[in-house]
Amino acid sequence: MKEILAYQTLPLLKRLVKDYLSSHVRKLIFAVICMMLVAGATAANAWMMQPVLDDIFLKKNATMLFYLPMAVFAIGTVSAFASYGQTVIMRNVGQRIIADMQIDLFSHLMHSDLSVFHDQASGRLISRFTNDIMLMRNAVSTVLTGIAKDFFTMVFLVALMFHQNTSLALIAFVVFPIAVLPVIRLGRRMRKISDSTQQQLGHFAAQLDETFHGVRMVKAYGREEHEISRARKIIENLYGLYFKGSRIQAAASPIMELLTGASIAAVIWFGGYGVIHGESTPGAFFSFVAAMIMAYKPAKTLVTLNNSLQEGLAAASRLFVVLDMKAEIADAPNAKPLKVSEGAIRFENASFHYAKDTGGIDDITLNVPAGKTVALVGSSGSGKSTMVNLLLRFYDLNRGMITVDDQDIREVTLASLRGSMSLVSQEIVLFDDTVRANIAYGRLEASEDEIVNAARMAAADEFIRELPKGYDTMIGPHGVKLSGGQRQRLAIARAIVKNAPILLLDEATSSLDNTSERVVQDALDKLMVNRTTLVVAHRLTTIRNADIIYVLDHGRIVESGTHESLMQKQDSAYYNLYAQTEHRG
């Protein structure tokens, strides 16, 4: 329960008011006025019982028979318009608050460290936008409106009851202290169960995302029943939590019904005794009873709404846990834009590890001369891709320095640093949008001619024009409607459109067949012209023309040179790697 314990109810409510409600003060004031009018009208209807009984039925006053119906209709009219006004305003404010929360959460995640997405399954993060927001929408739009309206209604009715008969009012409300304690306990239990439920929903969303994304492997290995078993376990846990929550929610109403019945019985006995002995009129007594019955309805509603409120607060607590995560990779206080004049890159005594005793790099010093192509090679886990991640400041060095044109990348703005680099990786990232939009993602303001020229340079224009709608064809989630080679060429076209002075190629052709690789490599060769290029190579045949090749092993540089110079040493690490690559090829 770490998340739910992070925010207690009162501090959480204060933060919600400060961050999201305070900007809607004028609307809220008008809504409160409408609520008070509705509450006043309800109390007035209860008060009207006295003159109806005493003046019309007992005294047979014809004048009152004329005026009272008109008064009741006027009260109903005021109540109707005020009720509509407060409902519309509160729903509008509630939905605006939820929309602002979703925008804030998404914006915060987009500016968070890459480690946030590596440490948490995407399904759990998505659950914040779906399951948690659904509970908060219910709490803000429905519960907040209901609590305020029912609270004012109860206050006005209670005031009427004390005005009519103080002694009976005290008898009627002696049950409230008895009811408060179990209601509070039920609310606390509901909040804990809600938190557990939402965590399980997050796990379930993560599993669904993982299983659906890897459905080919599930079927290839015949693990359908295994995945069904995993899903069944979570679903059964959810069933248990939902059932427990429904029992708690159901318990609140009977408690109030029992106490209400006892209270009404006591009032009837004492009140009836007073009427029989002439201490009160029948009209005053029935007016009191009507107000009491009307007051118990919002009281019971408030009890029910409290459970929903606690669910919403639990969801808000989880949302604030995410919002309060501070990004470690951020602009320095006096960060300046990176000025790339030539594009020379230098790693100087650079060391980094993802965690203690895990992969990374140790004390690496290397140069990537301006306009040259430098390749990083080595076995899996040697630190090649880590260096690309560090250059883009997805992570920061534990020790040492990285510079671009003698500017420490930690002292320049992230936007200018990443804006000066184009990344083409083995992990092709395309979006469920048109071909045109995916190419222009590198530079959103790119013209149609620039997009088409980039596609031609990437050897993609021909297959794009064969698609059903050409550049306007939707390519599906992750580009599933395209082949691996086609997706990679779109990624290269995107890098061409960006036209950044520094190019990072992270095993950009490792997953392609030989035919696709040749086409993609030709496109990459065009892209590399007059650019500083850092290549992480899997197939060493693709970097034979690199100006410098660095061989990494367990996070350290063990060799460097050109392809020809390194191949002359037949016992070298590079020679052995190249031989293995040729053999696999």
Task: Tell me the pLDDT tens digit for each residue of 331-360.
Answer: 889 999 999 999 999 999 999 988 766 678
Report residue 100 as tokens: 């602002």
Average pLDDT over residues 419-433: 86
pLDDT of residue 325: 84
- pLDDT of res. 197: 77
554, amino acid identity: H
pLDDT confidence bin for 464, thresholds 50/70/90:
very high
303, pLDDT greater than 70? no
Res. 105: pLDDT tops 90 = no
Check pLDDT > 50 for residue 293: yes
pLDDT of residue 181: 64
Query: Hey, where are the domains in the chain?
Result: 2-323
Residue pair 246/304 in contact (Cβ under 8 Å)? The answer is no
- Sheet of 532-536, strands arranged across: 421-425, 502-506, 532-536, 373-378, 548-553, 556-561
Instruction: Name the helix (H) or strand (E) containing 102.
Output: helix 62-110
- What is the structure's pLDDT at 416? 93
pLDDT in tens, 315-328: 888 888 888 888 88
Q: Residues, the chain, total?
A: 585
pLDDT digit string, tens, across residues 252-282: 667 666 766 677 777 777 777 777 777 777 7
| Angstrom distance (rounded) from CA 511 to CA 426 | 7
Q: What is the CATH number of domain 2-323?
A: 1.20.1560.10
Kindly report, residue by residue over 517-558, the tens digit of the pLDDT.
777 777 778 778 888 999 988 777 778 888 999 999 888 999
Confidence of residue 585 (pLDDT cuts 50, 70, 90): very low
Q: What pLDDT is attached to residue 366? A: 92
pLDDT bracket for residue 390 (50, 70, 90) = very high
List, in sequence order, the alpha helices (H) in 372-446: 384-391, 414-419, 435-440
Helix axis angle for 224-276 and 175-213, nearest 10°, is: 160
Tokens standing for 108? 């915060």
Output b/e per residue, 486-500; b: 16+ Cβ within 10 A. bbbbbbbbbbbbbeb
More confident residue, 415 or 186: 415
pLDDT at 396 over 70: yes
pLDDT over threshold 90, residue 439 = yes
Instruction: Tell me the pLDDT of the chain averaged across its residues.
Output: 81
Model confidence band, residue 180 (pLDDT cutoffs 50, 70, 90): low
Radius of gyration for the chain, computed over Cα atoms and rounded to the nearest angstrom: 35
Q: Which parts of 111-223 fold into alpha helices (H)?
A: 114-119, 122-127, 133-137, 144-164, 166-172, 175-213, 215-220
* Amino acid 410: pLDDT: 93
DSSP string computed for 194-238: HHHHHHHHHHHHHHHHHHHHTHHHHHHTT-HHHHHHHHHHHHHHH
